[in-house]
Structure 1
Amino acid sequence: MKRLSPRTLRGQLTVGLVALPAVACLAVGITTALALRGFPLLSRPAFPGPPGPRSVRPVSR
């Protein structure tokens, strides 16, 4: 299958203007995923079990 390349300057500019934000979004997404890899909020289970008993301290007056 032969790949068509843009022959006109307008076509080349359009392809470049579409590719540039796509590459930028990809870079931001990869960087964010790597930065949040060790974040504690993301390492918790999605559906935790029921909460355990709460410790209640008496109110001192």
Structure 2
Amino acid sequence: MTSESSKDSRGATSGGALVLVATPIGNLGDMSQRAVDALNRAEIICCEDTRHSGKLLAHFGVVGKK
């Protein structure tokens, strides 16, 4: 597994971030814009149930990076 990292002004390596996004149980209108933005910025999205998550991602127009 490889990861991309960059160095800050001090030369320290910085990596990525793990962001957990809570999803609505029944009403897609309960999803916050902040959560949608986080999903759109994500390089990788891991889901417990792709049937549910696929509908949610499609509804909000979130597409894969690769």
TM-score (norm 2): 0.21
TM-score (norm 1): 0.23
Q: Which has the larger strand fraction?
A: 2
Q: Which has the larger helix fraction?
A: 1
Which is bigger in relative contact order (C-alpha 8 A, separation at least 6)?
2
